[in-house]
Structure 1
Amino acid sequence: MPLALLALSVAAFGIGTTEFVMMGLLPNVADDLGVSVPTAGHLVSAYAIGVVIGAPLLAAVGVRVPRRRMLIALMGLFTIGNLATALAPGYGTLLAGRVLAGLPHGAFFGVGAVVAARLAREGRAARAVATMFLGLTVANIVGVPLGTALGQQLGWRATFLVVTVIGLVAMGALAVLVPYLPLERRDGGAGAGGELRRELRALGDRQVLLGLLTAVFGFAGVFALYSYLASMVTEVTGLADSSVTVVLALFGVGMTLGALAAGPLTDRALRPTLYGALGALALVLVAFRFTVHVPWAALVTVVVIGAVGFMTTTPLQMLVMEKARHAPTLAAASNHSAFNLANAGGAWAGGTAIAAGWGWTSPTLVGAALAVVGLAVAVLAGVLDGRGASVRGSASVRRSRVVARGGEAGAGVRAGAADGAGVR
């Protein structure tokens, strides 16, 4: 594994920790700032808003910035955002700090995915991208539980100060371990404006848009459940409140297993891996509606949900990069905006079902329905892509035949001219 992938994983670990640790610290933040827990919950949404806004915006701004420099700059912004979070004197400034910390999230993973793919050996690009995502999954096993425990013992500000240090370490690792990668000029020397137009055209490709739509619906199925997992295992399964950290860690274990499996599977067969993951996600979410009543079965199912849910991320990332291959940065970053829209949309859909009185297990069926919609969009994209390839192939054959006939006619003319010269 190239050491550059290790640097990307360290950065991903810090990003994953700060994104999810706030969920475990909401009561502490609420008590410290004198607000309600639901009001403190807006801090989770604030980070997601930062991701959605920042991913395409910062990726577009940095289209002509060398990759390593861009990664370091994005990590610097992330570090400043977490420092602002740790030092925020009140709720309003804390909200702003969370938005600031979220701004570079999507752009970092978008640029990082492009870098990882470029550094990989031929045929192993998806494995390299999955390796970077491992930092995100390990954060859910180690970073989030430890960060939650630290915040409960020393105060929530201590957690974000530690994340700030992780950000500084990641910046150093990126500077030392990521090689200089020259930008490929494809705009005929038109400069940043030409490159940005190329990125925007790639983002508007039908297959790219369908890939983003797949991410919005498919991954929303995961968050329809994950957002209310703690309540499900305490209210329905009957586990103690103290076991929630273990349950979330098991979900992180599943995510890691899914990331490890997704890399080689995606390198071998991208669309079948995506179809299989989304289909399995829908099935296992329905199964959880029944296994949630049995403690050991519920815990096993949680691991499986984490695995098949996160197995969708690598093929979705590779899909949009492949379809925008001539200008992949903006599309790859926008994919993380799609994931965070899925986060917000899935949580809203699951919460709506609970509020409607359908019970604590209703988000399982909501999530399964969203996963099926994502699968349908993915299959539609595959069918359209296949038809397009067929049309392009037929056009290529026709052009080849025309060229061949033209060559034969030209040869006949040249032969006739030669014969005429002989008569004269």
Structure 2
Amino acid sequence: MPPRRPHEPPWRGFQRGEPQYRRIVAALFAAGFATFTQIFDAQAVLPALRDELGVSAPTAALSVSAATVGIALSVLPWASVADRIGRVQAMRISLTAATLLAFLVPLMPTFETVLLARGLVGLALGAVPAVAVAYLAEELHVSWVSVAAGTYIAGNTIGGIAGRLIAGPVSELAGWRAGLAVVAVAGALAAALFWLLVPEPRGFVRAGVGDAGSDAGGGALRLRTRILFQLRDPTMLALYAQGFFLMGAFAVVYNYLGFRITAPPFLLPSGFVSLLFLAYLSGTVSSRFSGALLARFGALRVIVGGVAVMLVGLALLVSEALPVVIVGLVVFTVGCFTAHPVASGLSGRSALVGRAQATALYQLSWLGGTSLFGWLVGLVYDRAGWNAMLVVVAGMGLSAAVAALLGLGLLRSRRPVPPTA
């Protein structure tokens, strides 16, 4: 079915229980799975990659950052492309290109070429995080967008888990190159499932056709105007801070936990590192309940509460008892994926103009935080140790809470007036 034209009645969106709703949610789950298997699979092979290619722990972590930097650089361009060709078509092209590039990564001969190939995969993957939430906001009834966004993020988390659980054991048996190759196959299967399931769009209106209201009041506004408006809005800035600090903190803990548990006092085999990533499942569960918590308690309470839970988890991660560390990792993950889905969903719902650009900027924020802190805080780990690193991560969580209190609380009444087309 062609995209909705401006002269047609407003599109109400599919309701939960309708067949098209189920297809959309399942397709976005598959897209998130395909995307995140290929972003974070490298986390499970960092110790092996460090040993084989002779680099330091923070340098090895750049293999994760390369993919997230690539996505961060491409989300805004992909959002603009999607404004023209449609959200679904952009995601189809993105997943296809990324799948092909992912098979090249294990063939790269040096660490530098691995980083280049990983960066190209990230550039190709950018469409899904850039437009997925905007797509849900256009195709689904407003009352179900946050719930569906939670399911999409659950696909992200399960994809992240699968990538790590596949790459780690395969790496121990056959090397990190084989581990990444098998993950590429899993990503290809998920991308194919997206192609099969996703229905043609009903709520999309191509940018520039004159329906300014179709994109949260920004359809006919210049791209630059839509982007800069988000950066003047304290509510949107607060949401972007959540992605930047919270997902940056998440990347730090998961990047360097593997190095810690393979060193004294734990001295566990590298294959065990992948099993710890099962704690990521707690994020899948909490992301599914985040929409219900939002409806009951409001965004500010849920986000600040999620940060508080993260801090409890960080305190437990100081322990040198493995069971306590595992519990701490689960608690930390639950807190992160209580706050993050709420902020992600609100980045589309709260946008006064330029919904696609608003959600793309949220993706840019969390990917930028993942890329920057995933490497930078690793230098603290390398020089001052695990506990010093956790102190920095706690500071990042507190920064996110302060931003939420300001932008979603004290300054919410000072949101700027949307420009007219």
| TM-score exceeds 0.5 | yes
Return the offset for 1:37.
5.2
SS at structure 2 position matched to 1:298: helix
Q: Name the SS for the 2:84 alignment partner.
A: coil
Alpha-carbon distance in structure 1 between the residues aligned to 2:239 and 2:144: 21
User: What's 1:148 paired with?
Assistant: 168
What pairs up with 1:372-391 in 2 under 5 angstroms? Answer: 372-388=398-414
Q: Rate the CA distance shift 1:186–1:50 in 2: closer, same or farther, 3 A.
A: closer
Once the two structures are TM-superposed, the CA of residue 122 in structure 1 deviates from its matched residue by 4.0
102, 105, 112: which one aligns with 1:85: 105
Distance between the aligned counterparts of 1:331 and 1:122, measured in 2? 17
Q: Give the letter aligned to residue 210 of structure 2.
A: G
2:317 to 288, 301, 309: 288
Q: Shift of residue 186 of structure 1? A: 6.8
The 1:376–1:310 alpha-carbon spacing in structure 2 relative to 1, beyond 3 Å, is same
Q: Look up the match of 1:257.
A: 285
Match of 2:337 in 1: 310
Deviations 1:323-354 (A, max 9, x none): 32542112212222211222234334533433
How far the C-alpha of 1:276 sits from its partner, in A, is 1.2
The verdict on how the C-alpha distance between 1:309 and 1:256 changes in structure 2, with shifts beyond 3 A counting, is: same
Aligned partner of 2:389 in structure 1 is 363
Q: TM-score, normalised by structure 2?
A: 0.81
Instruction: State the shift of 1:367 in Å.
Output: 1.2
Cα offset for 1:373? 0.9
Question: Equivalents in 2 of 1:72, 1:287: separation in Å?
Answer: 42
- Offset of 1:97 from its aligned partner? 1.3
SS of corresponding position for 1:63: helix
Q: Return the offset for 1:91.
A: 3.9
Cα offset, 1:301, TM superposition: 1.6
Report the 3-state secondary structure (helix = DSSP H, G, I; strand = E; otherwise coil) of the residue aligned with 2:83: coil
The residue that corresponds to 2:252 in the other structure is 224
CA distance in 1, matches of 2:207, 2:123: 28
Aligned residues: 386
Q: Which moved more, 1:104-113 or 1:311-320?
A: 104-113
The match for 2:37 is 17
Map of 1:412 onto structure 2: none
Question: 1:257-306: CA deviations, max 9, x gaps?
Answer: 221221322344222211211222223323432xx223322211211111
Give TM-score scaled by structure 1 length: 0.80
Hey, what's the Cα distance between the residues in 2 that align with 1:233 and 1:300? 14
Q: Distance in 2 between matches of 1:353 and 1:166?
A: 34
Tell me which residue corresponds to 2:199: 179
Residue 59 of structure 1: which of 79, 89, 92 is its match?
Answer: 79
Contact 2:283 2:336 in 1 (8 A): yes
> 2:268 corresponds to which residue?
240
Q: Greater shift after overlay, 84-93 or 331-340?
A: 84-93
Distance 1:101 1:63 in 2: 22
How far is the alpha carbon of 1:102 from its aligned partner? Answer: 0.7
Report if aligned partners of 1:64, 1:195 keep a CA contact under 8 Å in 2.
no
1:309 is paired with a residue whose SS is: helix
Task: Say which structure is richer in helix.
Answer: 1
Structure 2 counterpart of 1:196, which letter? L
Question: Structure 1 pair 2/117, CA: closer, same or farther in 2 (3 Å)?
Answer: farther
Q: Output the CA distance in 2 between the equivalents of 1:154 and 1:239.
A: 21
* Residues 1:322 and 2:349 are matched in the alignment: yes
Q: CA deviation at 1:379?
A: 0.5
Q: Check whether the contact 1:266–1:314 (CA below 8 A) recurs between aligned residues.
A: no
Task: Provide the rounded CA distance (Å) in 2 between the counterparts of 1:29 and 1:235.
Answer: 16
In the alignment, is residue 210 of structure 1 matched against residue 238 of structure 2?
A: yes
Unpaired runs of 5+ residues, structure 2, are 1-20, 213-218
Residue 100 of structure 1 aligns to a residue in which SS? Answer: helix
- Kindly report which structure 2 residues correspond to 1:69-108, keeping only aligned pairs within 5 A, or say none: 69-108=89-128
C-alpha distance in structure 1 between counterparts of 2:200 and 2:299, whole Å: 29
Name which of 293, 296, 305 aligns with 1:276: 305
Partner of 1:413: none
Determine whether 1:343 maps to 2:363: no
Looking at CA atoms only, which structure, 1 or 2, has the larger radius of gyration?
Answer: 1
Over the matched positions of the two proteins, sequence identity in percent amounts to 22
CA-CA distance at 1:9 after TM superposition: 1.5
